[in-house]
Chains A and B, each alone.
Chain A
Amino acid sequence: MIISRFLRRGISTSTSPTRRRSWWDHVTPALKDPINAVTDAFLADPCPYKINLGVGAYRDDEGKPVVLQCVREAEGKTGATNFLESTSTAISSKLVEESAKLIYGEDSDVIKERRFAGIPALSGTGACRIFAEFQKQFYPGSTIYFPDPTWSNHRNIWGDAHVPDRTFHYYHPDSKGLNFVALMDDVKNAPDGSFFLLQPCAHNPTGVDPTDEQWLEISSLFKVKNHFPFFDVAYQGFASGDVERDAQAIRIFLEDGHSIGCAQSFAKNMGLYGHRVGCLSILCNDKIQAVAIKSQLKQISNTMYGSPPIHGISLVSKILSNPDIKALWLKEVKVMATRIQRMRATLREALERLGSPLNWQHITNQVGMFCFSGLTRAEVDQLAKEFHIYMTHDGRISMAGVTTKNVDYVARAIHEVTASDRDIKILHNIGAYKVNTDICSTSLGTKKTRARGMNLAL
């Protein structure tokens, strides 16, 4: 027995690493996440004046990441007590309560009657994922409707939860605004009781938001169709600079009596990206149902990662529950949103000053961190190669990466790469090539995203 044991051991270690068979031979390299790939390419670029307009993380006017003062103050007030398991539950509950007040309104009936089930979540991604798993568990045959386009990770999130997805019309490449008529058509034609993912403000990636009137109509149609609205709230405060204003879409739906679901992220509006703090809430009929649903949500998260990380939770609950710190936070959100609005205006002016014949109104029409520039894949690649300016392939620019110092350079670069097909693009802008987008428009249910912006198949 002992001899054979040594022999076996000898055999197993005799082969060299490269010739040894691996359990993982059939594992192929995963595709890189498209947004992270931009950051990777940016980091690998040795050019000293390179610019990262990829990931949606706020930068100040020096191009530096910001730790908000309200976060520092909250951190000063919390201590090693965070680590005690006993206080974790209390802090988590506080976070959920404050998050709910922030999005639904402090005076909302939902809050007063405690008609919501909520758990802290791993930022927006985690909140969406827990909801997707919950949706799968209790509505196993259901699908989710995404706006076309939407954040690239949405599809992966619901996909990994095994919920199939469809799209509804959203972005109009001609106007670079909302395709409201087609949107309402798709909402109407979807089977009753469908699940929809909506972005209440600062749509990612387009920056195109419905107006209040349009939200009212959408909400009304949702009631007729009995659809379930799930809101992904990643930018409350970042769209207008005012957290109450940015919650209008949700307040509209609430007034209409919808029982919505909501994923909130504090990554951007509190600059807590790395702490992974957010909240998932689902509105219920009453307190009793809220308790039942919360228990189910907790169970899903328990088997995924146990409890959520306390540090970020304690910061957010402190910031939201301390009136002075909260007031400071609201000021800082306004500063961030205002800087982005200023950069939008500056970039647009710069392009117009350069004499670009193209219409750049969408830069200031669109809202929030992102601008859907309309740049083609080829132009995006050219910007990276020749000008060392990085953005995602769909032409999405993170305005947070634009500064007073680099805005002229960015404008010049964009002008350069778009000037080459100038004649074609002038024609496009006056509608001569509208037919292309009609042919490309997808019917409800297909996942294909249309050619957008100025990419013409000529």
Chain B
Amino acid sequence: MASSVFSLASATPSASLSSHDIEKGKLNLRNTSLCFKKEKNNPFMKTKSFGRISMVVASNVSRFEGITMAPPDPILGVSEAFKADNHELKLNLGVGAYRTEELQPYVLDVVKKADKLLLEKGENREYLPIEGLAAFNKVTADLLFGADNPVIKQQRVATVQGLSGTGSLRLAAALIERYFPRGEVLISSPTWGNHKNIFNDAKVPWSEYRYYDPKTVGLDFEGMIADIKAAPEGSFILLHGCAHNPTGIDPTPEQWEIIADVIQEKNHIPFFDIAYQGFASGSLDADAASVRMFVARGMEVIAAQSYSKNLGLYAERIGAINVVCSSPDAAARVKSQLKRIARPMYSNPPVHGARIVANIVGDAALFKEWNAEMEMMAGRIKNVRHKLFDSLSSKDKSGKDWSFVLKQIGMFSFTGLNKAQCDNMTNKWHVYMTKDGRISLAGLSLAKCEYLAGAIIDSYHNVS
């Protein structure tokens, strides 16, 4: 009867016990002695003592015996390998976290100010409502759709504070699983690695649409449109609002219109992941153009937001899920169901990040400051792109077109390097990047562009 408990364990109870006996022989004895200690204090136990001693030994094995290590996160693994490298020229272009020109992490001034204000205000730490901080929900929807957007005025947007982009995506995925049991999500090939995990764990089936064209190191637009068209009617199409992760390749405004056409034609639902509003072009409004265009067409849209990058609030986990519906009634019902999903996940979202964002976006002076810092950060990345492009063009005499570095947008760039070439980047040049050929420009300084260009050229031409 006890053996059924261990059916998933790799070892039988007796086998693991014998290994315990050998490795930590004291374990049995110690527990037995504890039993005796208990006998002394507890008069009730005397009659059961014999049974207890024998069973103590049998049940000491963990029932999670057979559990193996989860696969390591590919992106974080890069940072760890970088840390372990002692080479003086090493460069970490792995994780997408903004760094200054001195390659230091950066806390936005406006965030420091907002944090200080919060400390001074000394507000209480009571539970937020399940849907989050009302002030935050208001400003986040205004930021994404535009405060004057009819959908906001008509109360047709269900906005619920979520734990950054990940948490917000998960809420939406759970909503899809609940209300569209046969619904499928289409994600770009490639896309951010965690998208698949989120939909897998939420038990939402997904498939891919073509996106990246390695031949052009650009967008496979024909393939993308064909795959979206071929998907069963009523599919959810996951789109990156701006600054596609990992490629940095965004559709042009004209291409966005065609994508919207096809989605409308096939009665699909557009599902935006906006993790870099402001980081792509430097303008918060410009980066929201794609989402706003879909909404302006009268489409019902799902949009997940994150303030991890654009406000540097990675660790505070602040974001939102928005569902633009065709009526305020639908929005109210959808919001109630998002709350129903959130309550057994974490009850209510964390207050700190929400207050920071609400204070910054809600205060004219702070908001202006934020815009300026946003421009500065995005500007630094644009400059780095230019420098890298110049370095590549001047160093490389083969005539290869490196302009994709300029065409791509946002924190990331898909270099077009294959795995072997990426390995060369790391092993020979001590440049750390993800194996799909993605480099994070946020981790690149102007000073290191020449060096990186050399590494890329060498890897591209001399390794296959």
A409 at the binding interface (Cβ < 8 Å): no
On whether the beta carbons of B350 and A275 are closer than 8 Å, the reply is yes
Interface size on B, residues (CB 8 A): 110
Q: Do the beta carbons of A153 and B70 come within 8 Å of each other? A: no
B-contacting residues of A (Cβ < 8 Å)?
5, 8-9, 12-13, 15, 17-18, 20-31, 33, 36, 55, 57, 65-67, 71-72, 75-76, 80, 82-86, 88, 109, 122-123, 125-126, 129, 133, 138-139, 153, 156-157, 159-160, 192-193, 213, 216-217, 220, 223-224, 226, 228, 255-259, 267, 271-276, 282-286, 289, 291-293, 295-296, 298-300, 302-312
Docked complex Cα distance between A416 and B406 (Å): 77
A216 pairs with B70, CB closer than 8 A: no
Beta-carbon contact of B326 and A160 below 8 Å: no
Selecting from B56-64, B281-289, B397-405, B415-423, the interface stretch reads: B56-64
State whether B62 touches A285 (Cβ < 8 A): yes
Is B62's CB under 8 angstroms from A259's CB? yes
In contact, A8 and B264 (Cβ under 8 angstroms): yes
- Asked if B261 contacts A305 (CB within 8 A), the reply is no
- Would A192 and B60 count as touching, CB distance under 8 A? no
Q: Is the CB of B164 within 8 A of A306?
A: yes
Assembled-state Cα–Cα distance A133/B163 (Å): 18
Q: Of the candidates B58, B170, B317, B326, which one forms a contact with A22 in the assembled complex, judged by CB atoms under 8 Å apart?
A: B326
State the Cβ distance, A230 to closest chain B Cβ, in Å.
12
Instruction: Give CA–CA (A55, B128) in the complex, Å.
Output: 12
Contact residue among A193, A283, A309 (Cβ-Cβ distance under 8 Å from B315): A309
Contact B352 A312 (CB under 8 A): yes
Chain A positions within 8 Å of B326 at CB level: 17, 20-23
Known interface pairs A220-B45, A273-B126; A29-B336 also in contact (CB < 8 Å): yes
**Docked-complex contact B111 and A307, CB < 8 angstroms:** no
Q: Are A65 and B126 in contact (CB under 8 A)?
A: yes
A9 to B299, CA, bound (A): 10
CB distance from B337 to the nearest CB of A (A): 5
Contact between B316 and A193 (Cβ–Cβ < 8 Å)? Answer: no
- A36 vs B130: C-alpha distance when bound (angstroms): 9
B200 contacts partner chain A, Cβ-Cβ < 8 Å:
yes
Q: Is the interface of B mostly helix, strand, loop or mixed?
A: helix
Give Cα A271 to B70, complex, Å: 34
Sampled A-B contacts (18; CB under 8 Å): A9-B261, A13-B296, A22-B325, A24-B333, A27-B333, A27-B337, A84-B107, A129-B345, A138-B67, A255-B34, A255-B38, A256-B38, A276-B348, A285-B16, A289-B64, A292-B70, A296-B67, A302-B73
A residues less than 8 Å from B297 (CB atoms): 9, 12-13
Chain B residue at minimal CB-CB distance from A285: B62
User: Which one, A23, A192, A216, contacts B45 given CB within 8 A?
Assistant: A216
**Distance between B192 CB and nearest chain A CB, rounded to angstroms:** 11
Residue B224 lies at the interface, judged by CB distance under 8 Å to chain A: no
- B38-A216 in contact (CB<8A): yes
Query: CB < 8 Å: which of B31, B58, B265, B353 contacts A309?
Result: B353
A residues within 8 A CB of B70? 292, 295-296, 298-299
Give chain A's interface secondary structure class.
helix
Residue from A23, A80, A220, A255 within 8 A of B300 (CB atoms): A23
- Max chain A CB contacts within 10 Å: which of B31, B300, B343? B343
Contacts of A271 in B (CB 8 A): 125
Report whether A80 and B63 are in contact in the complex, using a CB–CB cutoff of 8 Å: no
The answer to whether residues A220 and B340 also contact, given A29-B332, A65-B124 and a CB cut-off of 8 A, is no
Chain B interface (Cβ < 8 Å from any Cβ of A): 1-2, 4-5, 8, 16, 20, 24, 30-31, 34-35, 37-38, 42, 44-45, 48, 51-52, 55-56, 58-65, 67-70, 73, 95, 97, 105, 107, 111-112, 115, 119, 122, 124-130, 154, 156, 162-167, 170, 174, 179, 194, 197-198, 200-201, 234, 257-258, 261, 264-265, 269, 296-300, 312-317, 323, 325-328, 330, 332-334, 336-337, 339-341, 343-353
A109: chain B residues at CB < 8 Å are: 30
- Given A8-B265, A123-B347, A153-B343, list of 16 further CB < 8 A pairs? A17-B156, A24-B325, A30-B336, A65-B125, A71-B125, A76-B119, A88-B314, A256-B34, A274-B352, A284-B64, A296-B69, A302-B73, A302-B197, A304-B201, A306-B166, A307-B315
Residue contact B56 to A223, C-beta cutoff 8 Å: yes
Roughly how many angstroms separate A257 CA and B30 CA in the complex, as a whole number?
9
Q: Which residues of B contact A29 (CB under 8 A)?
A: 332-333, 336-337
CB distance from B354 to the nearest CB of A (A): 9
Tell whether, in the assembled complex, residue A223 and residue B269 are in contact, meaning their CB atoms are under 8 Å apart: no
B-chain residues with CB within 8 Å of residue A306 when the two chains form the complex? 163-167, 194, 317
* Closest beta carbon of chain A to B49's beta carbon, Å: 9
Q: Give the contacting residue for A138; candidates B52, B64, B95, B316; CB below 8 A.
A: B64
Contact of A304 among B37, B60, B170 (CB under 8 A): B170
Give the docked Cα–Cα distance between A5 and B68 (Å).
Answer: 53
Of all A-B residue pairs in the complex, the 10 with the closest CB atoms, nearest first, are A193-B5, A274-B351, A305-B163, A310-B315, A122-B346, A30-B340, A156-B344, A305-B167, A306-B166, A309-B350
| Alpha-carbon distance between A1 and B261 when the two chains are bound, in angstroms | 11
Q: Are B119 and A75 within 8 A (Cβ)?
A: yes
Q: Out of A83, A299, A308, name the residue touching B107 (CB < 8 Å).
A: A83
Cα A84 to Cα B112 in complex, Å, equals 12
- Contact check, B119 vs A283: say whether CB atoms are below 8 A apart: no
Contact between chains at B265 and A283 (CB < 8 Å): no
Assess whether B125 is in contact with A257, with CB atoms less than 8 Å apart: no
Q: A9-B297, A302-B73 are in contact. Are A67 and B124 (CB under 8 A)?
A: yes
**Complex Cα–Cα for A154 and B126 (A):** 21
In the bound complex, residues from chain A placing their C-beta under 8 Å from that of B332 are 29
A392 to B400: give the CA distance in the assembly, Å. Answer: 71
**For residue B56, which residues in chain A have a CB less than 8 angstroms away from its CB?**
223, 256-257
Chain A, residue nearest B178 (CB) = A27
In Å, the complex CA distance between A311 and B154 comes to 35
CA distance A286 to B22 in the complex (A): 14
Q: Say whether A31 contacts B38, CB under 8 Å.
A: no
Contacts of A159 in B (CB 8 A): 344
Contact B352 A275 (CB under 8 A): yes
Known contacts A29-B332, A292-B67; A160 and B341 CB within 8 A of each other? yes
Q: How far is it, in angstroms, between the C-alpha of A206 and the C-alpha of B117 when the chains are bound?
A: 41
Shortest B69–chain A CB gap in Å is 5
What is the minimal beta-carbon distance from A132 to any residue of chain B, in angstroms?
A: 9
**A289 CA to B119 CA, complexed, in Å:** 41
